């Protein structure tokens, strides 16, 4: 869910992708369920129970949005060049769209956006231009954006879809006094689940 006017996004994200989780044994239950996350500017908030934790990204709160933010692909499109090619038509969630292929210039987007744009860590950080695809509906709204992150011989695509435009949303970020900056112990508690956190620690071995 996205409030475009406020530039705030709410998502429910699996901390461990299914294709990785399926190959593991004894996966903590907390890793098998989605966790609520809010993206408020450059700040990423993770909810655990009644608590909110700010991810320790080291980013300036007034800086660029992180690349995991659902709104990041829209920022990247500010770097669209002149090589746009129409690639056909598709239906995305019952919406008729025109499919385009293009290249996004990350440096150009960085200059056009007031807060700049963040790119993932190396080796992607060294890339100036990234292949992209976008599907626009008849009103010119992006229904799907796919941006390729090339890393060595691997090619990964970040794909984001948008739908139900115009629906009223109410995303209320927590107040500053409700947010704790997460440290490794907090993250371990979140990943392992609240029941793990409430359990007494195992006894230390004696010598």
Domains of the chain (ranges; CATH) run 2-198 (2.50.20)
Q: Encode the chain (207 residues) as per-residue pLDDT tens digits.
A: 999 888 899 998 776 665 565 666 666 666 667 788 999 988 889 887 788 888 777 778 788 888 889 999 999 999 998 899 999 999 999 999 999 999 999 889 999 999 998 876 545 445 578 899 999 999 999 999 999 875 545 567 889 999 999 999 989 999 888 888 766 666 666 655 544 344 444 444 444
DSSP letter at 177 equals G
Sheet holding 51-54, edge to edge: 2-3, 8-14, 34-40, 43-48, 51-54, 179-181
Determine the Cα–Cα distance for residues 145 and 158; give it in Å rounded to an integer.
8
Q: In sequence order, what are the beta bridge partners of 136?
A: 98, 142
Rg (CA), the chain: 20
Residue 178 is given by DSSP the state: G
């Amino acid at each position: 869910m996205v409030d475009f006017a406020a530039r705030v996004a709410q998502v429910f994200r699996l901390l461990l992708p299914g294709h990785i989780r399926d190959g593991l044994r004894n996966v903590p239950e907390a890793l098998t369920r989605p966790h609520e996350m809010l993206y408020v500017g450059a700040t990423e908030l993770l909810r655990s129970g009644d608590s909110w934790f700010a991810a320790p990204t080291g980013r300036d709160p007034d800086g660029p949005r992180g690349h995991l933010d659902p709104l990041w692909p829209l920022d990247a499109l500010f770097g669209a060049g002149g090589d746009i090619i129409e690639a056909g038509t598709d239906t995305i969630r019952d919406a008729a769209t025109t499919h385009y292929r293009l290249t996004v210039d990350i440096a150009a987007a960085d200059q056009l956006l007031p807060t700049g744009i963040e790119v993932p860590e190396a080796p992607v950080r060294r890339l100036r231009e990234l292949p992209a695809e976008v599907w626009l509906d008849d009103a010119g709204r992006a229904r799907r954006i796919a941006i390729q992150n090339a890393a060595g011989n691997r090619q990964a695509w970040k794909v984001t879809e948008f739908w139900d435009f115009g629906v009223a949303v109410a995303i209320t970020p927590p107040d500053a006094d409700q947010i704790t900056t997460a440290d490794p112990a907090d993250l371990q508690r979140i990943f392992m689940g609240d029941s793990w956190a409430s359990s007494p620690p195992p006894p230390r071995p004696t010598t």
